[in-house]
Amino acid sequence: MLKILTLGDVVGTAAISYLRSRLWSVRSELGADLVIANGENASDIHGLSAADAEALLDCGIDLLTMGNHTYGRRDLYGFLDNDRRIIRPANFPPAAPGQGYVTVDVCGWRVLVINVQGQVFMEPLADPFDTVERILAREKGDYDFAVMDIHAEATSEKLALARVFDGRIAAMFGTHTHVATADEQILPRGSGYITDLGMSGPTEGILGTDADAVIAKFRTHMPQRFTVAQGNIRACGALFEIDPGTGRTVSVRRITF
Q: Which domain holds residue 151?
A: 2-256
- Assign residue 8 the CATH number of its domain: 3.60.21.10
Separation of alpha carbons 34 and 193, rounded Å: 17
Q: Is the CB of residue 151 less than 8 Å from the CB of residue 116?
A: yes
* Nearest in space to 225 (alpha carbons), one of 72, 41, 44: 44
Q: What is the pLDDT of residues 159-180, one digit of tens each?
A: 999 999 999 999 999 999 999 9
What does the pLDDT read at residue 109?
A: 98
pLDDT score of 243 more than 90:
yes
Kindly report the pTM of this predicted structure: 0.97
Catalytic residue among 69, 151, 176, 178: 69
3 state SS of 216: helix
* Nearest in space to 159 (alpha carbons), one of 133, 128, 130: 128
Number of domains in the chain: 1
Q: What b/e readout covers 26-52, taking b as 16+ CB neighbours within 10 angstroms? A: bbeebebbbbbbbbbbbbbbebbbbeb
When the pLDDT of each residue in the chain is averaged and rounded to a whole number, the result is 97
Q: Tell me how crowded residue 82 is: count the other CB atoms within 10 A of its CB.
A: 10
Q: What is the pLDDT of residues 39-88, one digit of tens each?
A: 999 998 889 999 999 999 999 999 999 999 999 999 999 999 999 999 99
Active site residue 151: no
What does the pLDDT read at residue 86?
A: 98
